[in-house]
Chain A
Amino acid sequence: MSALLKAHNLNKHYGKFQALKNINIDINRGKVVGLIGPNGAGKTTLLKAVLGLAPCDGDLSVLGIDPFKKRAELMKDICFIADVAVLPKWIQVSQLLDYTEQVHPNFNRNKAEDLIAKTKVNLKHKVKELSKGMVAQLHLAIVMAIDAQLLVLDEPTLGLDILFRKEFYDNLINDYFNNERTIIITTHQVEEIEHILTDVVFIKDGEIVLNSDMESLTRDFFEVMVSQDNYEKAMTLEPLTVKKVFGRYIMLFKAASRQQVEILGEVQRPSVSDLFVAIMKEGQS
């Protein structure tokens, strides 16, 4: 299977600050990739390069196209929601649909209207009359009605309440995602999208520090409940993090096999957010 997105030695400088450092990544079709990193890590810079919004050095191809050179052409097959509430405020919902229908060859208006009908958004509303959550629903409805190969979501649910967020991702996975499509998501609320991801990419200070599918993640990392008795022994295996909870220790290991850590205590699959925190702290201490 050929990669849908190929990045080779991507670099990006803002003056002396290097926002991306030698990024190498391939993303295949049918994946849901979580791009996760702290603020200022370079997530948005990378996404902008992928979307053709900003130039960068190195080789980058999306669907076989150099995004910055041919943004308009690429946008026939890519959709993105770059931020919450970026729809023009003055526009009426029906005008928004008219416009998108006229400029986008892969837009299915009926589908968009069906999706909108499930929300409280009315076609006669202006965007500025809608709440932030409704704007996000409307934008998602438009994006889901576009038959695209890659969907990029950059913090699509920032500032929305938990009900909206949950519904947003449920709709995305149930009604939109299939094996032909690829989704890249960045968010701070990792725990909410963990269950829908097939791959995670951690990015820190402009570098990719982890690029793994969810299965190998469970294969390589273990969270172990260690009792006081096994503490010394466990520490010799160099846990990534140690938390003390109710007289026991919760330790995160990167280990070659499950057997190696099983003797220390009860083993669980670590959450992506715990893993994220552990990996981000690595090297700082």
Chain B
Amino acid sequence: MKNRMKTFWALLKLEFWEHKGSFFKTPIIIGVVLVVMALLSYFTTDRIVLDVSGGDNLQLAIGSLQQVSDDKINFALDVLMLMTGSLYHFILFIVVFFFLLGSLYDDRKDGSILFYKSLPVSDTQTVLSKIITAILVAPVSFVFGLVVSHLLMFIVISLILLINGLNPFTILWSNVSFIENWGAFMVGCLVQALWALPLYGWLLFASSVAKRRPFLLAVFAPLMAGFIWYWYNALVNLNLFKFGFFQTIGMLFAKATTPFATGIGHNDFENVDFDPTEHTSGEVIHNMLNGLMQIELLYGLLFATVTIGLAIYIRRYRNTV
């Protein structure tokens, strides 16, 4: 047991080393880009416009900060932090999507599976390490990346405030709800992982089974199946469940990319957009956790178990190089 834990830990480290670029650098690069964009807009406009949040709140806050109450600044900062958090969730999903597509395919393509299989590591451990990387290692890296990005943004804003003769500590730092906003992102990552798990399982399966181009298999096979299902129902069953298949996939994608919104709009999820100005981070956390009570999540987890099981089976018995 102890040895297995040691092996598993080594496998997670291996995944992190291999994907350090996408897991670790991506969020920080995006943070830097956001800051640079903010600075550009600051330096290229006559007025002091910090348009990162897209809201008038921040502009207003900086324009006449001393008159603005702490509540409003706090609210504006919440919006900024939740919006960047939501953006990071989306990017995290994309990163994990491509990580999983390659995870059981790339080493078969370049032959390094022969090295991995020459070590006393079971295929079950290998496949499980990939899924744990998707739902824990990558999100933890992104949490770190988001924290660094936020701090970077606040430092830059502080400098701008200082240049304009304002005190960043009373205006900015004392008004940031670090715990609630970062907490919302962390809970969001967990909720995202749960909702995305059936998609992740499918990607692992596609990655293990694909002879070449797992992307095509992962994306076009369901599309084909969906179209057949659609026409079958449209022509034979007279429209009874014709939207079911795509609707389910669409819902999963929507929930997997914007976990903040998973708790709102149970029945009409496609039409719900996450608007950070309408919810506080506390409400977002509360909604997300409530959203987990949906029966669809359970079906999703069942589907994930089956696909991950299949991926293990294929890695073990069919990926014989």
Beta-carbon contact of A71 and B7 below 8 Å:
no
Within 8 A of B (CB), among A77-92: 79-83, 85-92
CB-defined contacts of B267 to chain A, threshold 8 Å: none
Q: Are A89 and B110 within 8 A (Cβ)?
A: yes
Find out whether the CB atom of A88 lies under 8 angstroms from the CB atom of B18: yes
> Would B122 and A88 count as touching, CB distance under 8 A?
no
Contact A105 B120 (CB under 8 A): yes
> In the complex the two chains form, is A80's CB within 8 Å of B118's CB?
yes
A245 at interface, CB cutoff 8 A: no
Contact with B along A66-101 (1 / 0, CB 8 A): 000001111110011111011111111001001110
Assess the A72–B121 pair: CB atoms within 8 A.
yes
Q: Which of B18, B107, B114 contacts A83 (CB 8 A)?
A: B114
When distances are taken between beta carbons in the complex, the residues of chain B under 8 Å from A51 are 117-118
Is B18's CB under 8 angstroms from A55's CB?
no
Taking each of B6, B13, B17, B113, which has the highest tally of chain A beta carbons within 10 Å of its own beta carbon? Answer: B17
Asked if A86 and B9 make an inter-chain contact with CB atoms under 8 angstroms apart, the answer reads: no
In the complex, whether B54 has a CB less than 8 A from a CB of chain A is no
Q: How many A-B residue pairs have CB under 8 A?
A: 85
Measured CB to CB, the closest approach of chain B to A232, in angstroms, equals 53
Interface string of A180-212 (1 = CB under 8 A from B): 000000000000000000000000000000000
Q: Beyond A54-B320, A85-B111, A91-B17, is A102–B10 a contact (Cβ under 8 Å)?
A: yes
8 A Cβ contacts from A100-135 to B:
100, 102-105
**Cβ-defined contact, B112 with A87, below 8 A:** yes
Take A72-B120, A104-B120 as given contacts and tell me if A82 and B114 are in contact as well, using a CB distance cutoff of 8 Å: yes
Chain B residues with CB under 8 Å of A72's CB are: 120-123, 125
Say if the beta carbon of B45 comes within 8 Å of chain A.
no
Q: How distant is B99 from chain A, measured CB to nearest CB, in Å?
A: 13
Instruction: Answer yes or no: B14 CB below 8 A from chain A CBs.
Output: yes
Among residues of A, the one whose C-beta sits closest to the C-beta of B121 is A103
**What chain A residues lie within 8 Å of B113 (beta carbons)?**
86
B17 contacts across to A, CB distance below 8 A: 90-92, 95
**A21 interfacial by beta-carbon distance below 8 Å:** no
Q: What are 23 A-B pairs at a CB distance below 8 A? A: A71-B123, A72-B122, A80-B114, A82-B114, A82-B118, A86-B110, A86-B111, A86-B113, A86-B115, A87-B112, A87-B115, A88-B107, A88-B110, A95-B17, A99-B14, A102-B9, A102-B10, A103-B11, A103-B119, A103-B120, A103-B121, A104-B120, A105-B3
- Which residues of A line the B interface, CB within 8 A? 48, 51, 53-55, 71-76, 79-83, 85-92, 95, 98-100, 102-105, 139
